[in-house]
Structure 1
Amino acid sequence: MPRLLYINEKFGHDATIILDSGDACWISVGKRGVLVRSHRPSFWGGLLGSVFGRKLYQERNIYQALSVAQALAATFRPVPQIKCKDMMLKSFCTAAWRCSSPEQVKAVLNDPELLAA
């Protein structure tokens, strides 16, 4: 079962979820779009994973990111462990929560079929 490492809505909007594979999935939502990266959780990986981790998803158009977030919210049921006020962050975190590996997160977030729904 995935594990929520942290959610930060005070200084930016980001979260880290530890997937079933043991990889960490860092999700950042901001005015400039959405960025999702994967890294191995460790002290240095935690500090630098958001900068040097493998990029799973990036959308710089905030309107397109909102469209993806709405599609994700319609596709996945809410998870009680994810208590975000930010709808976009909550949608992306819920989608990542339902995945067991970074490859699966990448497939779900970049799926053109999902965006058409």
Structure 2
Amino acid sequence: MPRVLYINEKFGHDATIILDSGDACWISVGKKGVLIRSHKHSFWGGLLGSLFGPKLYQERDVYRALSVAQAILATFRPVPQIRCRDAMLKAFCTAVWHCPSPARVKTVLHDPALLTA
């Protein structure tokens, strides 16, 4: 089962979720859009992975990211472990939570059907 490593809403809006595969996904939501990166779960992997890990998803258009977030909330069931006040961060964390691997995260978030949900 995936687990939330941390959620930060005080000094930015980001979170890290450890997937079933053992990989970590760092989710960052801000005024400039959404960025999700993958990295191996370790101290150095977490520190450097959020900066240099492979990008799984990036959307610089905030309005498009918001429509994807709304589609995610309509598609996936809520996760009680994800306690965010920021609706967009909560949505992207929920999508990542429901994926077993980084490859699946990339596939799900780039699915055109998600935009039409």
TM-score of Structure 1 vs Structure 2, range by shorter chain: over 0.9
How does 1:62-73 map onto structure 2 within 5 Å?
62-73=62-73
Distance 1:80 1:11 in 2: 23
Q: TM-score, normalised by structure 1?
A: 0.98
Asked if 1:54 corresponds to 2:54, the answer is yes
* Matched AA of 2:89: L
* Matched AA of 1:34: V
> What SS does the aligned partner of 2:64 have?
helix
> What SS does the aligned partner of 1:91 have?
helix
Unaligned runs of 5+ in 1: none
Q: Could you report, residue by residue, the CA deviation over 1:41-79 in whole angstroms, capped at 9, with x for unpaired residues?
A: 111111111110010000000000000000001101110
Off by >4 Å, runs of 4+ in structure 1: none
* Matched AA of 2:33: G
Asked if 1:102 corresponds to 2:76, the answer is no
Asked if 1:42 corresponds to 2:42, the answer is yes
State the shift of 1:3 in Å.
0.8
* Matched AA of 2:34: V
Q: TM-score, normalised by structure 2?
A: 0.98
Distance 2:50 2:69 in 1: 20
Number of residues of Structure 1 aligned to a counterpart in Structure 2 = 117
Distance 1:77 1:84 in 2: 15
Q: Match for residue 75 of structure 1?
A: 75
Q: Could you report, residue by residue, the CA deviation over 1:78-101 in whole angstroms, capped at 9, with x for unpaired residues?
A: 100000000000000001000000
Q: Match for residue 88 of structure 2?
A: 88
